[in-house]
Amino acid sequence: MAVNLTAPVHLYPVKGVRLGVAEAAIKKPGRNDLLVIELAAGSKVAGVFTQNAFAAAPVQLCRTRLTGAVSIHALLVNAGNANAATGETGLHDARALTAVLAHAMGCAAEAVLPFSTGVIGQRLPVERMAAALPHALAGLHADGWQEAARAIMTTDTVPKGSSRRVLTSEGEISVTGIAKGVGMLCPDMATLLAFIGTDARLTPEAVRQCLHTATAVSFNCVTVDGDTSTNDSAVLFATGQIGTQNIGPTHPDYPSIAAAVTEVCVELAQAVVRDGEGATRFVTLKVIHALDVKEARQVAYAVAHSPLVKTALFAGDANWGRLVMAVGKAGVPGLTPGDVSLALEGVKVLERGEPHPSYREEMGTAVLAKPEYTITIDLHRGDAAATIWTCDLSYDYVKINAEYRT
């Protein structure tokens, strides 16, 4: 059960974007698992991708096609099969499917970006997927974001979407995004599949900058289990359907548009953690007064990735010794116990390496019994800080992943 997360009530259409879904029975029958996103001619597209050495076939193709001369016209997304660790066969299958879609849409194959999520090491059911594409194309419509969010789900329990509208000098623009990802989730770019669209008339440079700025404070600040997926991808597309002026990074309207994109990405990033596999707690980890951001993140992830910490969070056990253990193992040069203070949702537990005199066990237990809370670690070493979001490690996480292929 997701932690304080419900399905999005309304997602604004983005002018120049149509979405259609279909059932291809990729892993199991009885659900839509194929998504086509059509983009208006001239749309500007940017992406960030996994740093895993076993980057999936679709990731490899996306990287190549986004640096090519052909404008992107469509995205093809499937759930249930990652098309990763499939070698040349996987690349052939991804190319073949994008070629089928491109032929049906009247564009070049290089104008289609493929994305996959699901089981690693298995070949895509190419024939079933190709046969389902006409249904997805027949269903293309501007209000398809909700259906799209459901179609890309794997072990997600709740579809994830977010929307903003911004009034600019060129008119009102929309920013809408969807995402999936609840396990094998740790930043090394963006940590999941996420698709964000806007109808603002952004330049290619603005789209790239906007996406990289947003992912730095959203998708690259979450972790469920410390494992970086082979298929992580986040894409921002700007259709340019609103206004007549190109908006670059120095344009007066850029900051408000970029802020909306960042807000959508943060909401999506938090949603995937709230829906982490088996999650019962949503935890914000703040590391403050570090020497630099790298040091702050190093400590935050040492805590977030500790199985002992995560299981204590699941139990609601205020065993704060596990927290200081994780801080101590982070490998920060010169860090001493006297540098470190710890607080649970404002309850002071440790003050510069000494147990706080006012702390009582029941105070910590009351905090950790909540479905969501903040843990603050003060290093007293500088002015830098970092915030990440994580969840607990429950019985259900083990069950879900033990039975993932059954």
Does the residue 37 lie in any domain?
yes
Residue where one domain finishes, among candidates 229, 247, 274 = 274
Return the closest-CA partner of residue 241 out of 177, 180, 175, 303.
175
Sheet with 74-81, strands from edge to edge, namely 17-22, 34-39, 74-81, 112-119
* pLDDT at res. 400: 67
Structure tokens at 129: 């997927």
Q: Look up the CATH number of the domain holding residue 198.
A: 3.60.70.12
Instruction: Say if residue 260 is in the same domain as residue 293.
Output: no
Residue ranges making up the domain that contains 310:
282-402
* pLDDT at res. 393: 87
Q: Which residues contact 333 (CB under 8 A, 6 or more apart)?
A: none
* pLDDT at res. 333: 96
Instruction: Say if residue 109 is in the same domain as residue 37.
Output: yes
* pLDDT at res. 394: 83
* pLDDT at res. 190: 40
Q: What is the DSSP letter of 109?
A: G
* pLDDT at res. 188: 52
The CA distance from 225 to 223, in Å, is 6
Each residue's pLDDT tens digit in the chain (406 positions)? 789 999 998 999 999 999 999 999 999 899 999 999 999 999 999 999 988 888 999 999 999 999 998 999 999 999 999 999 999 999 999 999 999 999 999 999 999 999 999 889 999 999 999 999 999 999 999 999 999 999 999 888 999 999 999 999 999 999 999 999 765 445 554 448 999 999 999 999 999 999 999 999 999 898 876 666 788 899 999 999 999 999 999 999 999 999 999 999 999 999 999 988 778 999 999 999 999 999 999 999 999 999 999 999 999 999 999 999 999 999 999 999 999 999 999 999 999 999 999 999 999 999 999 999 999 999 999 999 999 999 988 877 778 667 766 6
* pLDDT at res. 229: 75
Which bin fits 60, alpha (ψ -120 to 50), beta or left (φ > 0)?
Answer: alpha
The CA distance from 150 to 123, in Å, is 23
Residues, the chain, total? 406
Instruction: Say if residue 261 is in the same domain as residue 332.
Output: no
- Widest CA span in the chain: 71
* pLDDT at res. 231: 87
Does the residue 375 lie in any domain?
yes
Does the residue 388 lie in any domain?
yes
Distance from chain centroid for Cα 131: 29
Instruction: Say if residue 107 is in the same domain as residue 189.
Output: yes
Tell me the HSE value of 33 on the side-chain side, using a 13 A CA sphere.
25
Cβ neighbours, 10 Å, residue 358: 10
* pLDDT at res. 404: 63
Residue where one domain finishes, among candidates 225, 257, 274 = 274
Cβ proximity of 221 and 389 under 8 Å: yes
Does the residue 319 lie in any domain?
yes
Q: Output the 3-class SS for 31-54.
A: CCCEEEEEECCCCEEEEEECCCCC
Instruction: Say if residue 26 is in the same domain as residue 111.
Output: yes
The CA distance from 212 to 236, in Å, is 10
Instruction: Say if residue 215 is in the same domain as residue 106.
Output: yes
* pLDDT at res. 226: 63
Instruction: Say if residue 130 is in the same domain as residue 77.
Output: yes
Does the residue 390 lie in any domain?
yes
Interhelix angle 87-105/126-138, rounded to 10 degrees, is: 30
Distances (CA, A) of 214 to 209, 225, 227, 265: 8, 22, 21, 6
* pLDDT at res. 191: 45
Distance from chain centroid for Cα 76: 18
Does the residue 211 lie in any domain?
yes
Q: Which residues are tagged catalytic? A: 191
* pLDDT at res. 184: 46
Instruction: Say if residue 164 is in the same domain as residue 254.
Output: yes
* pLDDT at res. 246: 97
Does the residue 42 lie in any domain?
yes
Residue where one domain finishes, among candidates 247, 274, 301 = 274
DSSP letter for each residue of 281-320? -EEEEEEEEESSHHHHHHHHHHHHT-HHHHHHHHHT---T
Instruction: Say if residue 303 is in the same domain as residue 234.
Output: no
Instruction: Say if residue 289 is in the same domain as residue 217.
Output: no
DSSP letter for each residue of 124-165? --HHHHHHHHHHHHHT-BTT-HHHHHHHT-SS-SS-EEEEEE
Number of folded domains in the chain? 2
Instruction: Say if residue 48 is in the same domain as residue 196.
Output: yes
* pLDDT at res. 247: 98
The CA distance from 79 to 33, in Å, is 5
Q: Which helix (H) or strand (E) holds 397?
A: helix 395-402
Give the dihedral sign, CA 11/17/18/21. negative
Instruction: Say if residue 154 is in the same domain as residue 72.
Output: yes
* pLDDT at res. 381: 97
Q: Look up the CATH number of the domain holding residue 364.
A: 3.10.20.340
Does the residue 12 lie in any domain?
no
